[in-house]
Amino acid sequence: MIHLTDVHKHYQMGPTVVRALDGVSMSVDAGEFVAIVGPSGSGKSTMMNIIGCLDSPDAGSYLLAGEEAAERSADELAEIRNRNIGFVFQSFNLLPRASAVENVELPLIYRGISGRVRRRMAEAMLERVGLADRSRHLPAELSGGQRQRVAIARALVGNPSVLLADEPTGALDTHTGEEIMTLFEQLNAEGVTVVLVTHDPHLARRAARAITLLDGRVTTATALEVRP
Amino acid sequence: MSTGAQLIMLWENIAMSVRSIAANKGRAVLTALGVMIGVGSVIALTALGTGAAVSVEARLGNLGANLMIVYSGQPRGTALVRTRTTNIAPALTIDDLAFIDSLPPDLVVMTSPESSINGQLKFENRNTAATVIGTDTDYPEIRNFRPVFGDFFTPADLEGRRNVVAIGVQVYRDLFPDGRDPLGTTIRMNGLPFTVVGIMEEKGNPGQDASVLIPLTTFRRSLSGSDRYAIINIQAASPDVMYQLQEIIETQLLAFRRLPSMELADFYIANQMDLIGTVRGVADTFTLLLGGIAAISLLVGGIGIMNIMLVSVTERTREIGVRMALGAKGRHVMTQFLTEAVILSAGGGLIGVGLGYAGAWGAWRFGGLAAVVSPESVLIAFGFALVTGLFFGGYPAYRASRLDPIEALRYE
Ligand SMILES: Nc1ncnc2c1ncn2[C@@H]1O[C@H](COP(=O)(O)OP(=O)(O)OP(=O)(O)O)[C@@H](O)[C@H]1O
Ligand SMILES: [Mg+2]
């Protein structure tokens, strides 16, 4: 399903080169539940952006469903992001002027789903993350954890086949975090491929498999776990 | 994408644009101000131009419908109706008139010859000077100059060479200051007795108001002796045939005189269309000039829209990034910003249309100016505003659509 081979992503910062990804190879099969762990700055978000078709590698290959992402057009990538991938951003990325439910509706707009149907789907998803009573609130009127749950609802509303979650429980208390994890596990059981970035070793252990990044590389210990 | 989905997208774009404009009301109004003023001034100024042309044309029509006049002498200025023709030797012959009368009715409806002299009029102890015009009974119709009291002289008066007179309103006032009924009264004209049969309507120009009209037959026998006419008035069948008719008459009258060209002719033709053409030409130039000025202000308005749209795109870079990350394609972003620009310009344009009507009304109500708002100017100005929005919104929208999603997301 997801297949990275020797992926590099470098940033030129003045005289120095930041090697955010320095030859990452890994794969995730359809239906897997994989955790990505590693210290801050190790390249987890950078890798997630590439997997999510938001960013492209400087070198190396990224095959998604057997096709090279770099060879697809911008419109095709937009279509994939819209229909196949649910992305929970580390920084939420909610539209500040849109209410919770309007934020959740966003991916559905670009599928051409009518307003009434959209609203119903978005409300249902907000209810699933426990925010039914906050649907009219603006992001600024929500707590950090509530915003995170709006971001999760938005990632899930379009029934993606791949869920990419970058620290989705970082701002949540253990209890709510557990609930979200349970939700992810349910989705995974329904066949959704889940890739989850987390700092929490407890949560990482609930994944079938963990990939550890360090300085833009997959560390050997976990690399062994990656199937060829 | 299906049409249904496209409609949903369109509606979504409009809703988003309205929300985004509503979030920056003051800025939106200032942005659209240029377009408002542009559209408003196009409409109001062209209304003034059109109004001026219409009122001049109405005044010309007042001289008589489709009027064409053959004058004796050489042309002087462009005035259709010369106020003083009495000092020019009458040069138009019976043959000239007969030729014009022989032209088919799809060219010439009717003709009326006239000659005139300066006359001295007297009643009891009062004297006044007037132009004495000898003519026939078609004259009131051709020149749109009719009696308001009593009647014009009749064919029988013409036939019998009777001494009857229809007097201009100024002559009436001078001779009958007590306002009495003058019908049947005998006045003296260059010593000869004439019976008053009517008072002509007031035209507001001394050439007509200070004139008296008598049968041409009487005029010839008693006052001039010449069998030539000073003027032949012609009512053409329509404005469209006027130039053709003028050419036919000029050619034949030159042939009668064995003259090669109009430069040497002892007659000339004044054509209502010439004047209307001149007036329209001036009005068109005026309208074009005003339209040009207004178009420049629309252009400035358009640049204002572009400026604010560029700001808006920059401000909302993150929003664009989020939308793209969630599946918006370039064209979605493009149409979103284009819709916003068009709504701004269309809104400005609509208010501008209102301003234009108000301006035209104000010029009429408080400035006493004739203002005629033409539907074309409204459509053109509004259409121009829309195109301005599309054109000047196009570049910012294009820039927005070409953003890289990940860079747009990182934008602070
Ligand atoms: N746009 C950028 N320009 C320059 N450097 C960047 C950029 N994006 C990421 N980096 C660098 O790449 C490295 C990896 O960043 P990344 O965001 O992937 O880390 P992370 O593993 O997600 O960290 P965290 O756990 O704190 O979220 C960091 O050193 C960061 O400074
Ligand atoms: Mg990160």
Q: How far is the CA of A20 from the centre of ligand 1 (A)?
A: 6
Name the closest ligand to CA A166.
2
Mean pLDDT of all residues in chain A? Answer: 90
What pLDDT is attached to residue A125? 95
- Give the closest of B6, B321, B324 to A78, CB-based: B324
Contact A18 CB / ligand 1 (< 6 Å): yes
What pLDDT is attached to residue B81? 57
pLDDT-based confidence at A75, cuts 50/70/90?
very high
- Inspect the interface and report whether the beta carbons of B325 and A87 lie closer than 8 Å: yes
What pLDDT is attached to residue A173? 85
CA distance A52 to chain B (A): 9
What pLDDT is attached to residue B87? 66
- Inspect the interface and report whether the beta carbons of B330 and A154 lie closer than 8 Å: no
**Half-sphere exposure (CA, 13 Å, Cβ side) for A117?**
10
CA dist B329 to A84, A113, B338, B352, Å?
15, 16, 14, 34
Across B24-61, b (16+ Cβ under 10 Å) vs e yields eeeebeebbebbbbbbbbbbbbbbbbbbbbbebbeebe
Are A58 and A10 spatial neighbours (Cβ–Cβ below 8 Å)? Answer: yes
pLDDT-based confidence at A202, cuts 50/70/90?
confident
Query: What does the pLDDT look like over A121-165, one tens digit per residue?
Result: 999 999 999 999 999 999 999 988 899 999 999 999 999 999 999
CA distance B327 to chain A (A): 4
pLDDT-based confidence at A197, cuts 50/70/90?
very high
What pLDDT is attached to residue B239? 84
Beta pairing partners, B130 = B119
CA dist B230 to A194, B140, B252, B352, Å?
106, 17, 18, 55
What pLDDT is attached to residue B207? 81
Q: Where are the domains of chain B?
A: 3-58+278-410, 67-237
Beta pairing partners, B113 = B232
What pLDDT is attached to residue B381? 86
- Inspect the interface and report whether the beta carbons of A82 and B327 lie closer than 8 Å: yes
What pLDDT is attached to residue B73? 86
- Considering Cα of A161, then A166, then A167, then A168, what sign does the dihedral take? negative
pLDDT-based confidence at A227, cuts 50/70/90?
very low
- Helical spans, DSSP H, in A129-200: 144-156, 174-189
pLDDT at A166 over 50: yes
Contact A212 CB / ligand 1 (< 6 Å): no
Percentage of the residues of chain A whose pLDDT score is greater than 90: 74
pLDDT at A193 over 80: yes
Amino acid type, B339: T
User: What are the residues of chain B with a beta carbon less than 8 Å away from any beta carbon of chain A?
Assistant: 1-2, 4-6, 8-9, 11-12, 19-20, 23, 318-319, 321-330, 332, 405-406, 409
| CA distance linking residue A35 with residue A187, whole number of Å | 15
- Inspect the interface and report whether the beta carbons of A93 and B327 lie closer than 8 Å: no
Domains of chain A: 29-56+82-223 (3.40.50.300)
Are A25 and A19 spatial neighbours (Cβ–Cβ below 8 Å)? Answer: no
What pLDDT is attached to residue A224? 39
Among the listed residues A36, A88, A41, the one whose alpha carbon sits nearest the alpha carbon of residue A203 = A36
Question: CB contacts < 8 Å between A and B, how many?
Answer: 72
SS3 B127: strand
CA distance A202 to chain B (A): 30
Q: How far is the CA of A68 from the centre of ligand 2 (A)?
A: 24
Among the listed residues B28, B21, B13, the one whose alpha carbon sits nearest the alpha carbon of residue B339 = B13
What pLDDT is attached to residue B90? 86
Nearest chain A residue (CA) to B16: A98
What pLDDT is attached to residue B85? 56
What pLDDT is attached to residue B76? 64
| CA distance linking residue B130 with residue B121, whole number of Å | 7
| CA distance linking residue B328 with residue B367, whole number of Å | 55
| CA distance linking residue A53 with residue B231, whole number of Å | 91
**pLDDT, block means (10 residues), chain B with 412 residues:** 77 86 87 88 85 77 82 70 64 93 94 93 92 94 92 94 94 92 93 94 86 94 87 91 92 92 87 76 78 80 88 92 94 92 91 92 85 86 88 92 92 82
pLDDT at A206 over 50: yes
| CA distance linking residue B267 with residue A164, whole number of Å | 97
